[in-house]
Amino acid sequence: MRFFSTLFFFAFTISFYAQNNNKQVLFTVDEDPVYASEFIRVFNKNLDLVKDESQKDVDAYLKLFVSYKLKLKEAKTLGFDTMPKYKRELSNYKSQLAKNYLTDNKVTDALVNEAYERTTNEVNASHILIRIDENASPKDTLVAYNDLLKLRGRVIDEGYKAVQKEVHNGKTIYAEDLGYFSGFKMVYPFENAAYNTSIGEVSLPFRTQFGYHIVKVFDKRKSRGQREVAHIMINLDKEDAESRIQDIYKKLEQGEDFESLAKQFSEDKSTSTKGGKLSPFSSGELRSQEFEDQAFSIEEEGVYTKPFKSNFGWHIMKLIKKIETPPFQDMKSTLEAKVKRDSRSKLISTSRINKLKERYAISNVDKDLAYFTSILNNEFYKSKWKTPESFQHEKAFVTIEKKQFTYKDFADFLIKSQRRNKKQLPLNKIVENTYNAFLEEKMLAYQEENLEFENEDFANILGEYRDGLLLFDLMENEIWKAAANDSVAVQEFFNANKTNYFFNERVDAVVASSAKKKDINKVAKLLKNGITIEEIKSIVNTEDQVHVIFTSGLMDAKHQALPKGFSFKKGVSKVFTHNDSFVVVKVNEILPKTQKTFEEAKGKVSSDFQDAKEKKWLVDLENKYKVTIHQDVLTTVKSKLNKD
């Protein structure tokens, strides 16, 4: 419930923060204006997302929108927008979102083209890693580099496997087979080394955040694309899981339809109704290597595998379609998003910083750097340096456009950087490096701070998150936690609404299914004569031939095995056609509609309790805050939306 409510908030919330001189107020909430432009944008944005036809009606949607604004008003009244957690999450999101708007397009395009090339080609490689800390001393770094050079020589002379067996300890040295991988599967420096090393060659040592590596490349190949498959799955927790999947396989070998068997017997409920069909996937996307390997090993479409076991269950898989790697234009937007999230985005940032230095007016501070060098001392290397008593904290240091930074700002930055300056660099070099880092950080921050006023799209998306996060916190506090914290109230709600919680009529039954009507007719006759299921199995099935599969247990009218519209009646039913097969049902007992206990209905009760509480709460908000709708503006809005 909470998850879907959150999705609704983020889809529903949107505000317009850029300047607009022609705003018309659609309604007010305690004198706070809500503009027609915002409502029109929200309505059009969500028109294709909502399934409830009533929400496509302007008046009905306006009612939802007013309720939403009432909640926002209450959230701000209660001070949720001042909470540290809220501010922190919003700030983090703003920084992440800004990355998508603060990029160098030329560098981005080059990286996207490179990413496509690497996504469509795979490398088979192994590596050796000597672990060293990111802040290791130059001496330790040099030792690791030289040690790896020696190992590289040995790999070239003795072969990778021989060296791997000897040096791998899983602690300080790792020698691992990586198999085939493509773009974005490894950190960017590693990816670069692998793709830039020829087949059969060993790279020179290179650095990542983990330490120094060498990579041995064994093969390169075109990407295998995607596979679309269907499967039949039996859960591992069944005692007879393996024998049941073998029975289903025998029926396939006898010529029965894969899709029909999946509908009847597959226990993957998310795919069984679709004949076992899964969405297309590529290498590395699934959580089961065994399943993926089977999918890519099938050569011809329409062919199915023998039963195999994964970490999820027993499967039989059928290849529906091989899907080749899409052309560049189809993947471009996805790759661009990945590039901006990946470590290679540092290249984009460097380019961006250089352009900002050209764009922004920055005051000259060269003489001040000499001053800061003069006040540093050896205490800096011990992370104990402080500014001298004569230090002029408020003196102007550097200006970016109209934003002024003081001596104190840079001194604070220096103090914080002490922990990162483990290398014994000269003091003037430390000041120079720190100033460059300070200037870059402040330029990026300045651009980001002003982005909301310069970029309308950014402002709108940030507004969605700002209000959605605020509303989430409010709902969690006012509604969702109520069910968890007030068990007495939830119990009382159940007692007052017991008639809403019940088990539908069910049957204790056995369902026999077969592709051949004559086999089901035979089973029906045996059932009527009181023959047990085990005896019937021995009569109609053999070790090599499975003609009939039986499903037994408690079932309601919607159960997968029962024919649609099946009438509950004790005894043996007539023969039905169901899921492209023939079935007969023996009903042992009919269980009438029965009242659920509180524990049995607890999940639904909690959800209903929250809904009821929210409705009452909304009425209270309507009484608390005065809402005034401007009918003339609403008429104009309706006219515009109807034209659109």
CB-based contacts of 143, cutoff 8 Å, min separation 6: none
The closest alpha carbon to 76, from 467, 442, 338, 376, belongs to: 467
DSSP 146-211: HHHHHHHHHHHHH-HHHHHHHH--SSSEEEEEEEEE-TTSS-HHHHHHHHHSPTT-BPPPEEETTE
The closest alpha carbon to 365, from 398, 387, 333, 340, belongs to: 398
DSSP 336-400: HHHHHHSTTHHHHHHHHHHHHHHHS-B---HHHHHHHHHH--GGGGGT-----TT--TTSEEEEE
pLDDT at 150: 96
pLDDT at 394: 94
- Dist CA 349 CA 343 (whole Å): 10
**Angle, CA of 317, 270 and 309, to the nearest 5°:** 35
Which residue's structure tokens are 């004790």? 570
Q: Confidence band (pLDDT; 50, 70, 90) for 287? A: confident
**For 424-445, what is each residue's pLDDT tens digit?**
678 888 999 899 999 989 998 8
Checking if the pLDDT of 16 tops 80, the result is no
pLDDT at 98: 83
Longest CA span, the chain? 106
CB-based contacts of 256, cutoff 8 Å, min separation 6: 515, 581
Q: Which residues of 354-375 are buried (b: 16+ CB within 10 A; e: fewer)?
A: eebeeebebeebeebbeebeeb
84-88, 279-283, 390-394: segment of lowest average pLDDT: 279-283
**For 54-81, what is each residue's pLDDT tens digit?**
556 888 889 999 999 999 999 999 999 9
Tell me the HSE value of 385 on the side-chain side, using a 13 A CA sphere: 24
Torsion of CA 598, 603, 609, 611, to 10 degrees: -150
Q: Which H or E run includes 532?
A: none
pLDDT at 559: 94
**For 445-498, what is each residue's pLDDT tens digit?**
898 888 888 788 888 889 889 999 999 999 988 888 876 788 899 999 999 999
Checking if the pLDDT of 13 tops 90, the result is no
Q: Confidence band (pLDDT; 50, 70, 90) for 8? A: very low
pLDDT at 57: 84
Per the model's pLDDT, the better-predicted residue between 6 and 157 turns out to be 157
Q: How far is CA 107 from CA 103, 115, 182, 344, in A?
A: 8, 12, 21, 10
Q: Determine how many CB atoms are found less than 10 A away from the CB of residue 574.
A: 8
Q: Confidence band (pLDDT; 50, 70, 90) for 15? A: very low
pLDDT at 4: 34
Q: How far is CA 18 from CA 38, 456, 463, in A?
A: 11, 6, 11
Checking if the pLDDT of 127 tops 90, the result is yes
pLDDT at 14: 38
pLDDT at 550: 96
Checking if the pLDDT of 135 tops 80, the result is no
pLDDT at 68: 93
**Quick one: CA dihedral 378, 384, 388, 389, positive or negative?**
negative
Which residue's structure tokens are 């011990």? 382
**For 312-365, what is each residue's pLDDT tens digit?**
999 999 999 999 888 999 999 999 888 888 888 888 778 888 888 888 889 877
277-286, 393-402, 541-550, 574-583: segment of lowest average pLDDT: 277-286
Strands (E), 471-527: 502-503, 506-514
Q: What are phi and psi of 105, to 5 degrees?
A: -65, -35
Mean pLDDT for the stretch of residues 95-123: 85
pTM: 0.47
pLDDT at 18: 35
Strand, helix or coil at 5? Answer: helix
Checking if the pLDDT of 5 tops 50, the result is no
Average pLDDT, whole number, for the chain?
Answer: 89
Checking if the pLDDT of 608 tops 70, the result is yes
pLDDT at 642: 77
Mean pLDDT for the stretch of residues 170-181: 91
Which residue's structure tokens are 């003339």? 632
- Dist CA 315 CA 268 (whole Å): 10
Q: Determine how many CB atoms are found less than 10 A away from the CB of residue 89.
A: 15
pLDDT at 20: 40
pLDDT at 355: 84
pLDDT at 481: 82
Per the model's pLDDT, the better-predicted residue between 359 and 397 turns out to be 397
Mean pLDDT for the stretch of residues 214-230: 93
pLDDT at 50: 53
Tell me the HSE value of 584 on the side-chain side, using a 13 A CA sphere: 22
159-168, 212-221, 413-422, 503-512: segment of lowest average pLDDT: 413-422
